[in-house]
Each structure stands twice: as C-alpha cells, then as structure tokens.
Structure 1
C-alpha cells in the first residue's frame, strides 16, 4: 500500500482523532505525524476539508506560530507529546508506546 492510498483510508475513528489532536493546543503536529504518518500540511488540508470555512480560519489563526503546536519552537526540555498529568487514552497509539 503506497502512502497516498494510506492517507485516504483513515477510519472514521482515526479522522476524529486527527481532528481532535489538531484542535488541541498542546498537541504538536509532530505527534500527529508520529501517530498517523501525515505532515503538518496534510493536517491543514484535512482540517480545511472537514471544517466550515469560518471555523478553519479561526483554527489557522490560533495555531499559526503557536509554540506548543510546533516542536521546533518548543522548549528543548519538553520531550513528550502529552502532559505528564494527562490520563492514558484508550486506543491512543502514543500512550501504548510509553
């Protein structure tokens, strides 16, 4: 299966999780890439396709340049994708690797 067809075959549950992670202020795009294999630009494309135009513009304005969404801008001491106080999430591939 090539990468393009893999991106188009997300389950409804996967799509919900991608959208949820993209909305979360403290979840970096790198975490989405790690879990689902899609880039920041691909997340933006999904958000544009799945959201109402006004909601998409609001989301883009909020996440652009947000330090917590971009790992390169984050404090180098933060090496995790989630808060240490966050509960383990069932069916979350990242939490199962810990």
Structure 2
C-alpha cells in the first residue's frame, strides 16, 4: 500500500529526478531524503518498481557499498568535488591559465 502512496505522491517529473539523482555517483541518499523526503529503503523500492529488473540489478550492484552515496562515508566534508583539470569560469568565458 505504501508503494501506491509514494507513486501518487510524485509527479512524473519528480520521479524522473529521483531516479536521475539515484543514478548519480556523488548524489547522496541524504540529498534525496532532504529534497523528496524518501529514506534510502524507499528509494530502493522506488527504483525496483520504476525500472526494468535488469536495470535495477545493474543500479543496485553499482550503488551497493559505494561510499559516495552515503554522506557519513565520504572522504570530504562539504562542497563539491572539482577536478584540478577543470578550468575556471569567469564572466561566461573560460579563463586561460
């Protein structure tokens, strides 16, 4: 019964965004919980319901044990990861080094 409540709770656009966030490596389950009020187990149930079985298995294998999906296991405190190779953007132009 809870599954049908969750499905009607979100628009198609919100469901797409939750699935997209769940697939992203650096988006934590905490971020999904904050934005959509879904616990990790509810995200897993949603993914199982909304995806093909083979896609769900692939996602589950990818996410399981991934430290970046859990805020407590991350190796950086706050902010976002930025590669040292990423160029600075100022005034809509890419700065030259």
TM-score by shorter chain over 0.5:
yes
* TM-score normalised by L of structure 1: 0.72
Q: Which has the higher contact order (CA 8 A, sep 6+)?
A: 1
Q: Unaligned 5+ residue runs, structure 1?
A: 86-98
Q: After TM superposition, where is structure 1 displaced by more than 3 Å over at least 4 residues in a row?
A: 4-8, 82-85
Q: Which has the higher strand share?
A: 2
- Tell me: CA distance 1:6–1:78, structure 2 relative to 1, closer, same or farther (3 Å): same
Which residue of the partner structure matches residue 45 of structure 1? 45
User: How many residue pairs get matched?
Assistant: 80
Task: Classify 1:53/1:9 alpha carbon distance in 2 versus 1 (closer, same or farther; 3 Å).
Answer: same
- Point out the structure with max Rg over C-alpha: 2
CA distance in 2, matches of 1:49, 1:11: 15
- The runs of 5 or more residues in structure 2 that have no matched partner are 84-97
Question: Residues 53 and 6 (structure 1 numbering): CA distance in 2 closer, same or farther, change over 3 Å?
Answer: closer
